[in-house]
Structures are given as C-alpha cells and as structure tokens.
Amino acid sequence: MAGSYQLILNGSPVDDDFYTKLSALEVEENVDLPGAVLLKLPISATDAGDLTFVTDDRLQPFATVAVVAQQESQDGQCIFDGVILSHKRERPQPDAAGDGHPVPAPTRAPERQAVPRRLPIESR
C-alpha cells in the first residue's frame, strides 16, 4: 500500500523543489513528551553571502510546520502540527587518516525541531 506526505510551512504547502532538496523528514511521537519533527536540508552560500534555508522565512523560529500523511485511498491525516524552535548545523568530521585535513562539510542542512500545537485533525 503506497502512501505519501505533504509538508506545510507557515500555512502553505512546500513546492516540489523543496522536496527534492529535503534529505530526511522524521516525525517523533512520544506519550510523555512533546512530539518533534526533524528536517534535514542542504546548506550552501548564496551570491549575497547568506546561507540557504538558514535565512528562509518559512524556517525561522516560531514558523509553523505541519506534516500530513495519506495512504492510497484514504483521507490525509495531520500527524504533526507545531512550530520551529531551533536550528542545528552539522559540523564536518576530522579526516579518518588523521592528517589534520577536515572532511568537507556534509550537504545536509541543520536539524530543525518543532513542538506540536494541539489542533483538531481534519480530513483533506
């Protein structure tokens, strides 16, 4: 049974280009703690010297995030609805050869964690 998901940032579905660049999307549910979502995106410098996605308004602190999952013939269900609370950049690891040359930075973006807001789930 095939399924799909839709990512919604600040109330608007993301475009196909965003999905292409997204290397990971993880939704964590927990009975005792708030749920969380993790987005991994590549970071690169723009011609203006800014970092991509880090300066993206859709991913700023307190921006809203929703993830809607759907099985083939069923209505979509919102499995996460919350806000972005933090960004995290992965740092390059030292070279395994020990020659002091760092391995180039990974192409994945900072982790972005969010906590849910309690909202009713609607079928789409």
Report the pLDDT value the prediction gives residue 119, as an integer from 0 to 100: 46
Q: Please tell me the distance from the alpha carbon of residue 35 to that of residue 78, in angstroms, as a whole number.
A: 13
| H or E element at residue 20 | helix 16-21
Per-residue confidence at 123, pLDDT binned at 50, 70, 90? Answer: very low
Is the whole model's pTM more than 0.75, yes or no?
no
Report the pLDDT value the prediction gives residue 124, as an integer from 0 to 100: 45
Q: Please tell me the distance from the alpha carbon of residue 19 to that of residue 81, in angstroms, as a whole number.
A: 18
pLDDT greater than 90 at residue 9: yes
Q: Please tell me the distance from the alpha carbon of residue 87 to that of residue 110, in angstroms, as a whole number.
A: 6
Closest CA to 59 of 22, 28, 27, 85: 85
Report the pLDDT value the prediction gives residue 32, as an integer from 0 to 100: 87
Report the pLDDT value the prediction gives residue 2, as an integer from 0 to 100: 80
Report the pLDDT averaged over residues 85-94: 70
Report the pLDDT value the prediction gives residue 53, as an integer from 0 to 100: 85
